[in-house]
Amino acid sequence: MLRTIGHRLLLLIPTLLGLSILLFLWVRALPGGPAVALLGERATPEAVAEINRQYGFDQPLFVQYFTWLGQLLSGDFGTSLQTRQPVIEEFLRRLPATLELSFLAIILAVGIGIPLGYLAARRHGRASDHILVGASLLGITIPVFFLAFMLKWVFAVQLGWLPSEGRQDPRMDATHYTGFYVLDGLLTGEWDAAWDAFLHLILPAVALASIPLAIIVRITRASVLEVQNSDYVRTGMAKGVSRSTIRSRFILRNAMLPVITTIGLQVGLLISGAVLTETVFAYPGIGSFLARAIFTRDYPVLQGFIIFIAIGYALINLAVDVSYSFIDPRVRVS
């Protein structure tokens, strides 16, 4: 298995190399450039030329690409043109925020999605099944930014139950060690801060969870339906195997394989949802920073962040593949 994992990791190299070329070209193809973005209304041709010269944007594209690649290989991801901080630091500073949010979103999606999907399958063809299928269709089709906006309008602006933006009340004098605000509050015993950070997570997490939740419901339902009609389940029942064993070991465990794959894919896709959700909730994570970088043509941030995200995505999928062998002994990673 270790050999396979090693092989998969090696495959990452050509993948990332290909991505780096596409990414580099896409970023350069965006109209306008960072110099105009930095200077705004008062950009004079001389000032633009000067900035392009300083940053090397006046060089031929292939020279810029290989310069960047060279830096990348030596572990230098460049510096944000907007914040003038190293890209790697900007990424690491915002990573805990997005992980915390994604973690809660995926807990919601899995924790609610699997039981609901299972329930729909067990009640196949009845009203509750139809309602769940309909609701999940709505969950998939409703645009994330719209849902985020509505959640905020109802629960933050109109009802005032939950905070409307940010990660923590700025008046809170909280200590931060790890950058995971809820965890920090728990570690330092600042319960107030932990609770406040948690409240700030709820609305964006619900918005972010909507699509994965709906997809998990549908996949679980389909998968359970397929498995529960299979021969071995019938045989098990005929042999008098207890219902709970049939449910947990015969049906659920076998039905989980496609669900796990879906969860893996959805975790990777969370980041695209985070770009929109974080922007609506002014949540200072990777997504909102990436959105801003697109508007300001912050080339190093766009290139660096997307490479990091791609690596993360590849690793998550590798982890999903490896996890198959634990869930289904028939599958051996080879």
Partner 1 sequence: MLHTSRRRWLTGAAAIAIGAVVLTACASQREEGGATDDGGDVDSTFIFGASGDIAGLDPAMANDGETFRVSRQIFEGLVGVEPGTADPAPGLAESWEQSEDGLTYTFQLKEGVTFHDGTDFNAEAVCFNFDRMNNFTGLAATESLSYYWGKLMRGYAETGTSIYGGCEAPSETEAVITLTQPFAGFIPALSLPSFAIQSPAALEEFNADEVGGTAEAPVLSEYAQGHPVGTGPFTFDEWSPGESVTLSAYEDYWGEQGQVQEVIFQVIGDTTARRQALESGSIDGYDLVAPADLGALEDAGFNLVNRDPFNILYLAMNQTVPALADIRVRQAITQAIDREQLVTQVLPEGTEVASQFMPPAVIGWNEDVTTYEYDPEAAKALLAEAGYNESNPLTLQFNYPVNVSRPYMPNPEQIYTNLASQLEAVGIVLTPVGEDWNPTYLDRIQGGADHGIHLLGWTGDYNDPDNFVGTFFATPGNEWGFTNEELTSALTDARGLATAEDQEAAYLEVNEQIAQFIPGVPLAHPVPTLAFAERVTSYPASPVQDEVYNMVELSE
Q: Shortest CA distance to 233 belongs to which of 252, 260, 261?
A: 252
Binding residue (CB under 8 A) for partner 1 from 26, 146, 161, 191:
161
Nearer to partner 1, 7 or 243 (CB): 243
Q: Which amino acid is residue 187, in one-letter code?
A: L
Residue 160 engages partner 1 in binding (rule: CB under 8 A): yes
Binding residue (CB under 8 A) for partner 1 from 10, 73, 157, 238:
157
Q: Give a three-class secondary structure readout of 191-229.
A: HHHHHHHHHHHHHHHHHHHHHHHHHHHHHHHHHHHHHHC
Binding residue (CB under 8 A) for partner 1 from 96, 113, 117, 163:
163
Interface with partner 1 in residues 278-297 (CB under 8 A): 279-282, 284, 288-289, 292, 295-297
Binding residue (CB under 8 A) for partner 1 from 24, 78, 147, 305:
78
Residue 40 engages partner 1 in binding (rule: CB under 8 A): yes
Distance CA 163, CA 65 (A): 43
Neighbours of 185 (CB within 10 A): 23
Nearer to partner 1, 243 or 332 (CB): 243
CB of 105 to partner 1, least distance (A): 17
Span from 19-27, 31-39, 130-138, 252-260 in contact with partner 1 (CB under 8 A):
31-39
Q: Which amino acid is residue 57, in one-letter code?
A: F
Q: Which amino acid is residue 63, in one-letter code?
A: V
By CB atoms closer than 10 A (0-12, 13-18, 19+), residue 191 is: exposed
In this structure, is the dihedral angle defined by the CA atoms of residues 217, 223, 229 and 234, taken in order, positive or negative? negative
Residue 199 engages partner 1 in binding (rule: CB under 8 A): yes
Binding residue (CB under 8 A) for partner 1 from 79, 223, 228, 303:
79
CB of 281 to partner 1, least distance (A): 7
Length of the chain as a residue count:
334
Q: Shortest CA distance to 39 belongs to which of 332, 317, 302, 296?
A: 296
For partner 1, the binding residues (CB under 8 A) are 31-45, 47-48, 50-51, 54-56, 76, 78-79, 82-86, 90, 93-94, 115, 119, 122-123, 149, 152-153, 156-157, 160-167, 169-171, 195-196, 199, 202, 243, 279-282, 284, 288-289, 292, 295-297, 300
